[in-house]
Amino acid sequence: MPDQSIPQVRVSAEGAGEPDSAGGHGISRRALLGTAGATGLVLGAAGGAVGYTAAPAPATPLTSVGSDRVMFHGKHQPGITEGLQARGHLVAFDLTAGAGRKEAAALLRRWSTTAERLMAGEAAPHEDTDVARDAGPSSLTVTFGFGHGFFARTGLEKQRPSALDPLPDFSSDHLDKARSDGDLWVQIGANDALVAFHALRALQKDAGGAARLRWQMNGFNRTPGATAHPMTARNLMGQLDGTRNPKPAESDFDRRIFVPASGEPAWMANGSYAVVRRIRMLLDDWEQLSVSAQEAVIGRRKSNGAPLSGGDETTPMDLEKTDAKGEYVVPLNAHARITRPDKNGGAAMLRRPFSYHDGFDADGTPDAGLLFVCWQADPLRGFVPVQRKLDRGDALSQFIRHEASGLFAVPGGAARGEYVGQRLLEG
């Protein structure tokens, strides 16, 4: 779990329409609800813009959490640079026997249409379940990716990127193949659990006979607004997790995280590669350590994320500082020391994880940990070198276990009128 931080969410609050009962184009039910809040959407102005002469009946304003909206169309797919959401679902599908390029294209078109509507706070286009009827968009994001096997099944082997070659084996892996990989990957995130489930259900139904579910993982993070001020998230070990994430304002952010517009293959322009790992935390063992022992494992203070060498969370770590006994204050095998980009040839990735808890084993051991998701322009220059180094001597390794893994090519965002992956499937 490399030591990096997450940028803040970027949202807008545009109204969105959906068909009314007479077949016309009215204001969506959630746009009516989302009349106020932190985003400042004014219903009267929105109504005037589409030609209404009478204001609709007053509606209870959504809170800022419910009214926040992320746009579906853009240079990059949503769900990469936005801030951590309170609820997430990671889902993998395999194309069914007989489903090929044509069926995959139709599926991605359906999925893109559904994702665009749901992210706008509208109902699903077909047989909406009304699960999220009373909620706004709640920062919903839906992200789509392709696994290694997708290209053979669709006859597009020549378009498979070399960066999608299978990840190497790591000595710390205890992988369940049934919960790894997949032809298609979907990441769903939202700040409301019902909104996230609504999207999950709609997309699963959209798969129809073209794809079958391979695996699903459910995660969570702290709800926005639960702390006095925005801060780096904590994981289930109680540590601030994500302090050194690259930030969009940094000059080399795009180069590290996204495939360039001139990159190869051309259909991956402005896309990224997602490594997904289900990392179980051995919490019973971890919680037996003293706080000072936990801090030595990580290399940072548990209370505020400051490096053991001093300062606050953002203070650069002094790797050469020693104590009165001449020993490094940040141990040589501390997780934060090993994962530093300057100690890994500049390797960097954007971490955007969810925590998970899937109950308890028969002996009462919690099945809990991290749904690790990281983004990079090339996993062979991002995740792989860092994980290899962690494999050789990370103090944290005895308290975690990698139980599932996947690597997915996530194409750039769809332009208006396009669906995600269209340049691959129709190129």
Residues tagged active-site: 241
Could you list the beta-strand ranges (E) of 36-130. Answer: 87-95
How far is residue 140's CA from residue 66's CA, in Å, rounded to a whole number? 10
Burial of residue 425 (CB within 10 Å: 0-12, 13-18, 19+) is buried
The three-state secondary structure class of 202 is: helix
For residue 421, what are the contacts with CB-CB under 8 A and spacing of at least 6?
Answer: 104, 105, 108, 144, 146, 267, 411
DSSP 270: T
How far are the Cα atoms of 11, 201, 346, 390, 401 from residue 387, in angstroms, in the given order?
A: 33, 34, 14, 5, 13
First and final C-alpha spacing in the chain: 37
Instruction: Report the DSSP beta bridge partners of residue 76.
Output: none
Looking up tokens 């194409």 gives 411
Strand partners, 143: 187
At CA 373, angle to CA 222 and CA 340, rounded to 5?
95
Q: Which residues pair with 278 in a beta bridge?
A: 371, 404
Q: Scan for tokens 């039910």, then name that residue.
A: 29
Degrees, nearest 5: CA angle 277-157-159: 85
Contact 78, 143 (CB under 8 A): yes
Residues found in the chain: 427
Q: Which of 418, 400, 410 lies closest to 283 in space, CA to CA?
A: 400
Tell the residue number behind the tokens 């009516």, with chain if given.
Answer: 32
54, two tokens: 């009478």
Q: How many of the other CB atoms lie within 10 Å of CB of 400?
A: 24
Amino acid sitting at position 123: A
Token pair of 198, please? 């609504």
* Distance (Å, whole) CA 204 – CA 267: 25
